[in-house]
């Protein structure tokens, strides 16, 4: 297992071997180690001291279901703190086949340069990529596949990343050569696009990953147990049929569906944009439509989908719950076609649909566009391509839009837009938003499927904490969070895979502690960046404004929040 360091200022590079305990540095564990040890906390996230780390998990290309997540980390220009965002697709597997656990981009490139970096057979090639400047992710991938063949997986940024927008993410190739798997959050696309001036990284898909373990059979047995658990579990099955969109109606029922810039918790057209509606639309239209599809080989969950237009051609793939809420109900849009079209453009631009949806909601509240005005929103999003002013406002996130426009109902934590669970109605996820080092981020510890009163704050700190530990562990392992609904109750399954793959004697406790230590390290780094406990806060308006229709407020106290990690810090 190797780390590849690439200096974008002088185009030099070098490899390092990972050994010993460092072999357990996967995904978010590896990104955090490089960030905390090598990126000065006080540095300018858009300056030369920031680094960008791409890390596989612990078991890519091993036929572990959903084990091919790619973690991307840096100091976040959006939050100003530690950042890891991860995505599916085939990049992590491809890296593993090149013997790579991690790729690190260092230094700042000349601002007039733009690079395509090809990594193959221990060789790094810098290719002038200026001809691709301004291209969306889809047009870019098409050109690169034409030139280099579809034998490569691509990591890329769209125009939003090139412009250095704070809402920009990084796109990765899925197993059907779609450039639509977004490591979306925290403005990481700005670091790749503007600081590193890297338009795309190409890595061959083919090859064989060398496993580090001595006992292949033991690992295989552990893997089969893990995969079987997923295959026989209920929740993954539900996701297969409806995708993550199956979350719309439950959250609507809780009164936590972000609607018209988080001013309401239910949307009158929720059924029209629900998982059921999406399933019916796909079935009815046929064509390229698919209600379930994997993003990486071997995934059992297959939460993804392909949404067809009326003529059967592809509208967008996949369409996910958080996008449906933030770019749908939050904007007063009740049509899956409209949401899907905006989603496609956002993917092409390389924008985080959560951050973009948050910003558009703020812009609508400011009167720049009407809630429900699809053409108006579309014009703003398209304005990003040319760096127009409306596009810049939308592309830099809800926090900045709020300041500029004088809107104070801004749904952010650490300047990052929260996703599709209003904290007033989904207390546990609100606690996650507040306490995760990442800024408002449901993936750090989603609580909405825990069968318990979500309006009553009692007990949710403990639940959020436990889910955050599990999620962090899976982020280290590089395994998709969507399997945890099946596997989290049987932690020995993951333990056995780690031990048999890496010849370790980890316990459930030692693995959990590794996850806790990771988060404590991230939090300590954040403190050095200025993101201490005072930033572990849900926005004040949510304490003051009752959320219709249940008229709930954010009532978890600062003391309750601050107590979460006090035994570890």
Pairing of strands 198-204, 181-183: unpaired
Q: Candidates 118-126, 151-159, 232-240, 536-544 — which segment interacts with a copy of itself by CB under 8 A?
A: 536-544
Number of residues forming the site for a copy of itself (CB under 8 A)? 38
Residue keyed to tokens 């999620």: 471
244 vs 396, beta carbon nearer a copy of itself: 396
How many CA atoms within 13 Å lie on the side-chain side of 203? 26
Q: Candidates 285-293, 319-327, 332-340, 399-407 — which segment interacts with a copy of itself by CB under 8 A?
A: 399-407
Q: Which token pair is 529?
A: 């960046």
Q: Candidates 11-19, 54-62, 480-488, 532-540 — which segment interacts with a copy of itself by CB under 8 A?
A: 532-540
Question: According to CB under 8 A, which residues from 208 to 237 bind a copy of itself?
Answer: none
Question: Judging by beta carbons within 10 Å of its beta carbon (0-12, 13-18, 19+), is residue 11 exposed, middle or buried?
Answer: middle
With residue 14 as reference, give the H or E element that holds it.
strand 12-17
Q: φ, ψ for residue 119 (rounded to 5)?
A: -115, 115
Question: According to CB under 8 A, which residues from 327 to 356 bind a copy of itself?
Answer: none
99 vs 387, beta carbon nearer a copy of itself: 387
- 43 lines the binding site for a copy of itself (CB under 8 A): yes
Which one among 113, 177, 335, 403 touches a copy of itself, defined by CB under 8 A? 403
- 73 lines the binding site for a copy of itself (CB under 8 A): no
Which one among 18, 46, 379, 520 touches a copy of itself, defined by CB under 8 A? 46
Q: Candidates 41-49, 55-63, 282-290, 494-502 — which segment interacts with a copy of itself by CB under 8 A?
A: 41-49
Least Å distance, CB 559 to a copy of itself, is: 12
Which one among 23, 405, 520, 524 touches a copy of itself, defined by CB under 8 A? 405
Least Å distance, CB 77 to a copy of itself, is: 8
Question: Judging by beta carbons within 10 Å of its beta carbon (0-12, 13-18, 19+), is residue 565 exposed, middle or buried?
Answer: middle
367 vs 451, beta carbon nearer a copy of itself: 367
261 vs 500, beta carbon nearer a copy of itself: 261
Which one among 18, 36, 49, 237 touches a copy of itself, defined by CB under 8 A? 49
Per-residue binder mask for a copy of itself (CB under 8 A), 170-209, x = binder: ------------------------x---------------
- 166 lines the binding site for a copy of itself (CB under 8 A): yes
Q: How far is CA 545 from CA 254, 263, 542, in A?
A: 17, 9, 5
- 558 lines the binding site for a copy of itself (CB under 8 A): yes
Q: Which token pair is 362?
A: 């703020």
Cis previous bond, 318, omega within 30:
yes
Which one among 531, 547, 552, 556 touches a copy of itself, defined by CB under 8 A? 531
SS3 string of 82-148?
EEEEEECCCHHHHHHHCCEEEEEEECCCCCCCCEEEEEECCEEEEEECHHHCCCCHHHHHHHHHHHH
Whether the CB-CB separation of 365 and 323 falls below 8 Å is answered with no
Between CA 354 and CA 365 the distance in angstroms is 17
Q: φ, ψ for residue 413 (rounded to 5)?
A: -130, 130
- Through-space distance between the first and last CA atoms of the chain, rounded to whole angstroms: 32
47 vs 312, beta carbon nearer a copy of itself: 47
Alpha helices in 255-314 (DSSP H): 275-285
Least Å distance, CB 534 to a copy of itself, is: 4
Q: Candidates 30-38, 270-278, 384-392, 436-444 — which segment interacts with a copy of itself by CB under 8 A?
A: 384-392
48 vs 220, beta carbon nearer a copy of itself: 48
Tell me which residue of 249, 153, 192, 204 sits closest to 73, measured CA to CA. 192
- 541 lines the binding site for a copy of itself (CB under 8 A): yes
Residues 6+ apart with CB under 8 A from 3: 15, 16, 18, 100, 101, 102, 103, 104
- 163 lines the binding site for a copy of itself (CB under 8 A): yes
Residue keyed to tokens 């306490």: 435
- 406 lines the binding site for a copy of itself (CB under 8 A): yes
Between CA 28 and CA 485 the distance in angstroms is 20
Least Å distance, CB 543 to a copy of itself, is: 9
544 vs 566, beta carbon nearer a copy of itself: 544
Least Å distance, CB 321 to a copy of itself, is: 29
382 vs 403, beta carbon nearer a copy of itself: 403
241 vs 409, beta carbon nearer a copy of itself: 409
State the Rg of the chain over Cα. 22
Dihedral in degrees, nearest 10, Cα atoms 438, 441, 443, 444: 40
Between CA 200 and CA 484 the distance in angstroms is 32
- 530 lines the binding site for a copy of itself (CB under 8 A): yes
- 44 lines the binding site for a copy of itself (CB under 8 A): yes
Whether the CB-CB separation of 323 and 90 falls below 8 Å is answered with no
Which one among 15, 540, 548, 563 touches a copy of itself, defined by CB under 8 A? 540
- 6 lines the binding site for a copy of itself (CB under 8 A): no
- 386 lines the binding site for a copy of itself (CB under 8 A): no
Name the β-bridge partners of 225.
none
Q: How many CB atoms lie within 10 A of CB 197?
A: 23
Binding site for a copy of itself (CB under 8 A): 41-44, 46-49, 163-166, 194, 387, 389, 392-393, 396, 400, 403-406, 408, 527-532, 534-535, 537, 539-541, 544, 558
């Amino acid at each position: 297992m190797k780390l590849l360091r690439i200096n974008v200022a002088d185009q030099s590079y070098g490899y390092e071997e990972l050994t010993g305990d460092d072999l357990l540095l996967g995904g978010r564990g590896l990104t955090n180690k490089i960030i905390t040890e090598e990126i000065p906390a006080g540095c300018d996230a858009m300056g030369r001291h920031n680094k960008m780390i791409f890390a596989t998990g612990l078991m890519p290309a091993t036929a572990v279901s959903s084990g091919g997540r790619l973690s991307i980390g840096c100091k976040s220009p959006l939050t100003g703190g530690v950042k890891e965002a991860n995505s599916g697709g085939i990049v992590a597997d491809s890296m593993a086949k090149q013997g790579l656990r991690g790729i690190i981009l260092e230094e700042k490139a000349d601002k007039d340069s733009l690079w395509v970096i090809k990594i193959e057979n221990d060789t790094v090639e810098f290719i002038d990529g200026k001809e691709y400047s301004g291209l969306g992710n889809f047009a870019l991938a098409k050109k690169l596949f034409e030139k280099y063949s579809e034998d490569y997986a691509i990591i890329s940024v769209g125009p939003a990343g090139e412009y250095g927008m704070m809402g920009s993410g990084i796109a990765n190739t899925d197993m059907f050569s779609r450039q639509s798997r977004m490591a979306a959050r925290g403005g990481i696309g700005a670091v790749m696009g503007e600081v590193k001036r890297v338009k795309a990284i190409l890595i061959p898909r083919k090859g064989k990953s060398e496993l580090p373990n001595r006992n292949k059979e033991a690992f295989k047995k552990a893997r089969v147990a893990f995969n079987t658990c997923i295959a026989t579990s209920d929740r993954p099955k539900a996701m297969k049929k409806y995708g993550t969109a199956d979350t719309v109606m439950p959250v609507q029922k809780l009164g936590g569906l972000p609607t018209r810039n988080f001013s309401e918790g239910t949307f009158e057209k929720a059924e029209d944009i629900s998982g059921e509606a999406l399933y019916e639309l796909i079935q009815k239209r046929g064509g390229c439509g698919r209600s379930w599809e994997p993003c990486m080989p071997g995934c059992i969950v297959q939460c993804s989908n392909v949404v067809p237009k009326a003529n059967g051609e592809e509208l967008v793939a996949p369409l996910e719950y958080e996008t449906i809420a933030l770019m749908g109900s939050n904007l007063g849009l009740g049509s899956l076609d409209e949401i899907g079209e905006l989603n496609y453009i956002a993917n092409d631009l390389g924008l985080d649909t959560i951050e973009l949806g948050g910003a558009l909601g703020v812009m609508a509240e400011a009167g720049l566009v009407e809630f429900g005005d699809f053409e108006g929103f579309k014009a703003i999003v398209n304005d990003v391509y040319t760096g127009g002013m409306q596009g810049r406002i939308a592309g830099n996130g809800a926090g900045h839009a709020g300041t500029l426009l004088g809107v104070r109902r801004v749904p952010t934590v650490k300047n990052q837009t929260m996703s599709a669970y209003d904290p007033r109605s989904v207390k546990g996820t609100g606690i996650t938003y507040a306490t995760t080092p990442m800024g408002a981020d449901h993936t750090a510890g989603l609580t909405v499927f825990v069968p318990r009163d979500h309006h009553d704050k009692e007990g949710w700190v403990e639940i959020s904490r436990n889910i955050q530990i599990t999620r962090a562990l899976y982020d280290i392992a590089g395994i998709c969070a969507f399997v945890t609904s099946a596997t989290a109750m049987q932690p020995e399954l993951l333990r056995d895979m780690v031990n048999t793959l890496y010849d370790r004697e980890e316990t459930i406790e030692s693995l959990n502690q590794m996850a806790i230590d990771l988060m404590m390290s991230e939090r300590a780094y954040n403190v050095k960046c200025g993101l201490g406990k005072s930033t572990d806060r849900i926005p004040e308006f949510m304490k003051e404004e009752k959320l219709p229709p249940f008229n709930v407020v954010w009532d978890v106290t600062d003391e309750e929040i601050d107590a979460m990690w006090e035994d570890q810090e």
